[in-house]
Amino acid sequence: MTRYVEFVAPDATVKEAAELMGELDVGALPAGTEERVEGVVTDRDILYRVVARGLDPSGVRVGDVLSRPVVACGEDDSVSAAMDMMAANHIRRMPVRDARGRVSGWITLADLARKLLVDSETVQGALRAMTEPEG
């Protein structure tokens, strides 16, 4: 999970959001604030809802193309619960909310996969076998 979350304003242009995504090397940004996330704009939203339709990214607002409703997990949710939420909603990224409902982090499918790999006894054993000297 990433603790620092960058937000984009819903009234920002899609061009501005795409530039910010490029600077941060991310594929999605929550739109709004820590207290109120209005939606999530993804690289796919931009591709299919703006570029594929021949719209000018400088003239389209993030709020017009973002994905809703916001699916979020809680800080205390298990890895399994977070994965289930992502699978059920066909998403790859989502905000993490604290007990007060504020966004406290951002989690991706890649984060979850890494966590599962690190926790896997089978993977750990295979890595040890590959990295430990014989004898």
Residue-wise pLDDT tens digits, 22-68: 999 999 999 999 999 999 999 999 999 999 999 999 999 999 999 99
CATH number at residue 91: 3.10.580.10
Q: Which helix (H) or strand (E) holds 40?
A: strand 37-42
Which residue(s) pair with 8 in the sheet?
Answer: 31
Q: Is residue 18 part of a domain?
A: yes
Report pLDDT digits (tens) over 64-114.
Answer: 999 999 999 999 999 889 989 999 999 999 999 999 999 999 999 888 877
Prediction pTM value:
0.80
* Residue 134 lies inside a defined structural domain of this protein: no
Domain count, the chain: 1
Domain membership flag for residue 72: yes
Domain of 40 in residue numbering reads as 14-109
